[in-house]
Amino acid sequence: MRQARLAETWRHELLKLGVLALVGAALGWLFDHALIAVLFVLAGFLASHLRHLAILRGWLMSPKTVELPDSGGIWGEIYDLLLDLQRKNRKKKRRLTAMLAEFQASTAALPDGAVVLGSRGEIAWFNQAAQTLLGLRSPQDVGLRIPNLIRHPAFTDYFGSGEFSGEVEAPSPVNRAKTLSLRIIPYGNNQRLLIVRDVSELRRLETARRDFVANASHELRTPLTVLRGYLEMMEPEAQGKNGLAAWRGPLLEMRNQAVRMEALVNDMLKLARLEADSSHMKDDHLDVPTLLQRTLDEVRALSRGNHRFEAQIQADIGLVGGEAELQSILTNLLSNAVRYTPAGGVIRVRWEAAPEGARFSVADTGIGISEKDLPRLTERFYRVDVGRSRASGGTGLGLSIVKHALERYDARLEIESELGVGSSFICHFPVHRVERLPARLEQGVSAA
Average of per-residue pLDDT across 385-411: 69
How many Å apart are CA 13 and CA 7, to the nearest integer? Answer: 10
Report pLDDT for 445: 47
Q: How many CA atoms lie within 13 A of 245 on its CB side?
A: 4
Question: The CATH number of 110-198 is which of 3.40.50.300, 3.40.50.720, 3.30.450.20, 3.40.50.620?
Answer: 3.30.450.20
Report pLDDT for 388: 47
Of 25-39, 86-100, 136-150, 410-424, the range with the lowest mean pLDDT is 25-39
Report pLDDT for 356: 84
C-alpha to C-alpha distances, 95 to 92, 100, 105, 108, nearest whole angstrom:
5, 9, 15, 20
Among 131-135, 239-243, 425-429, which range has the highest average pLDDT?
Answer: 425-429
The domain locations on the chain are 2-103, 110-198, 204-276, 284-447
- The CATH code for residues 204-276 is 1.10.287.130
Q: Which CATH class is domain 284-447?
A: alpha beta
pTM: 0.53
CB 340 within 8 A of CB 350: no
Give 428's pLDDT tier (boundaries 50, 70, 90). Answer: very high
Q: Are strands 412-418 and 422-430 parallel, antiparallel or unpaired?
A: antiparallel
Average of per-residue pLDDT across 385-403: 62
CB 117 within 8 A of CB 143: no
Quick: pLDDT tens for 188-232. 778 888 888 888 888 787 777 667 766 766 677 777 777 777 777
Average of per-residue pLDDT across 121-150: 86
Of 31-40, 139-148, 320-329, 423-432, the range with the lowest mean pLDDT is 31-40
C-alpha to C-alpha distances, 291 to 72, 297, 323, 414, nearest whole angstrom:
95, 10, 9, 22
Q: Which of 274, 317, 311, 319 is nearest to 294 (CA)?
A: 311
Report pLDDT for 448: 43
Mean pLDDT of the chain: 78
Q: Do 204-276 and 284-447 fold alike per CATH?
A: no
Report pLDDT for 387: 46
